[in-house]
Structure 1
């Protein structure tokens, strides 16, 4: 499994490089509309470290954050590969949710992935989230991830394009994937205390393991590959639109929903904080500004 871990980690890093280059390209090509006279944004890259209980190396990654660009108000693209032993709470979660009672006897783990959240300057451009990951324990391995769109001003054609792209990439592997993982996203990205979804959905999967690592990895790679063709055309279409103060206010209120979800319900946020990963990297998903009514 060591070679598979290395391949997965390298893939996530390569996807990170492609996305960072594409986003900086969007900054450079923004030549009309709001914010055009401001400097093109660039990512600031820093290393992250996971804190272990005994002070030994526990892995880490790269946190790449762009703030105050022409197109992106704040976007983070993180990659990591972390390892060590799960704490008691995480062991209990694995034992119950994933049916791995052996975690209590041997709580070793390894996890690698990419996580992205983009908050946009123009309220007509939707916020977006994407991640893919691989998780290993001595008792089993699995993949997870997905991508979902979070507009504050919804355009039906944009939602249709995002979902159609996800479906096309899922259909390369199994026609049942898209409807299954779309339904899972609809359920997962729901805010119970608000009684509503945080956005217009996408796909979500976790605990994904058919027993064929090569096939499962190929599918998760396509989940990642789908992101840029699903999202970039929406940015290019909407970034030059004029907007009002009322529309900007609506964006800030919608960001409040996003912050509530990530702090209260998101599995990745909980896992990252509970296992000692860099808090700034874990919380990079939070918007730079938000508002509550």
Structure 2
């Protein structure tokens, strides 16, 4: 293949293919999560909310609230036009300052009710910027990550095994690179703490050319449910105490802090005057903060931060290593 072909910007037909895939994936994910809600005894369903953006474009936000398994879940599709790129985009790519852009993607955040079922997040997206006198600039990004409150080692290993399998067809270096990037990205600097056990994170991906990058987007999108649903199925019926529920709400505070302070997607949405309900749907309905809580050294609550919320090579761990 001619190297110049790899740099070619996606055509309108290519963009339509991405859009079709994202909308279909949105429906599949909602269906899969609703099935788990039903199997867990719940009756809550996703409500679809179609919206238009005055600047151009729009989206479909699907939100489930008040379930027995999922306390709040958002599966959000958007395809928007951006007339004035915000600082969150141009700081990393100064060459696109003054350009117009299209951004389309799917973002998922699931906050389960049971403290033994982890919160999870996933995102896949395509960004294209263009201005007069410059060839279009494009890239893809995304990934998925897991935020447990009462983690089980086998779940952490399985999560990363799925991430490894998603990346394997694209090269040996892909999983280690994107796993490390995820650890670096989902880090609360002010707490000196990881948000969760990580997974995959990538951005600015275009070096493979559109077709190969799109294949990777599809692999990540399909791989998310394959990684997450088995954990939900194993843990959704685990009994929990009121104190464990209180700890879950306390730890959700870290999730809120990260999304409001560091998350690029949140910042991009706020700086482009995006639809606020869609931008902040990632926040849980219930959350709490406590002043300097203390946990017994050998407690599961203390072990979360002392062991699990550390970057690790999860694929080399077993039950005896902890």
- TM-score, scaled relative to structure 2: 0.83
Which of structure 1's runs of 4+ aligned residues deviate more than 4 A?
none
Q: Aligned residue for 2:92?
A: 97
Confirm or deny that 1:201 pairs with 2:198: yes
Q: What is the deviation of 1:173?
A: 1.3
Cα distance in 2 for residues equivalent to 1:175 and 1:48: 41
Q: What is the deviation of 1:157?
A: 0.7
Confirm or deny that 1:21 pairs with 2:31: yes
Confirm or deny that 1:81 pairs with 2:79: yes
State the secondary structure of the residue aligned to 2:159.
helix
Cα distance in 1 for residues equivalent to 2:96 and 2:196: 37
Residue among 163, 166, 169 paired with 1:166: 163
Q: Aligned residue for 1:122?
A: 114
Residue among 181, 187, 193 paired with 1:184: 181
| 1:126-137 → structure 2 map (5 Å cutoff) | 126-137=118-129
Cα distance in 2 for residues equivalent to 1:272 and 1:89: 11
State the secondary structure of the residue aligned to 1:226.
helix
| 1:257-268 → structure 2 map (5 Å cutoff) | 257-268=254-265
Q: What is the deviation of 1:49?
A: 2.7
CA RMSD across the alignment: 1.2
Residue among 200, 207, 211 paired with 1:210: 207
Cα distance in 2 for residues equivalent to 1:102 and 1:187: 25
Cα distance in 1 for residues equivalent to 2:87 and 2:255: 25
Q: What is the deviation of 1:51?
A: 3.6
Q: What is the deviation of 1:102?
A: 4.5
Cα distance in 2 for residues equivalent to 1:97 and 1:259: 24
Q: Is the 8 A contact 1:114 1:131 kept in 2?
A: yes
| 1:1-293 → structure 2 map (5 Å cutoff) | 1-30=11-40, 36=41, 39-52=42-55, 58-87=56-85, 89=87, 93-94=89-90, 96-98=91-93, 100-104=94-98, 107-138=99-130, 139-293=136-290
- The structure having more radius of gyration, on CA atoms, is 2
Cα distance in 1 for residues equivalent to 2:289 and 2:86: 36
Aligned residues: 275
- TM-score, scaled relative to structure 1: 0.91
Q: Aligned residue for 1:33?
A: none
State the secondary structure of the residue aligned to 2:204.
strand
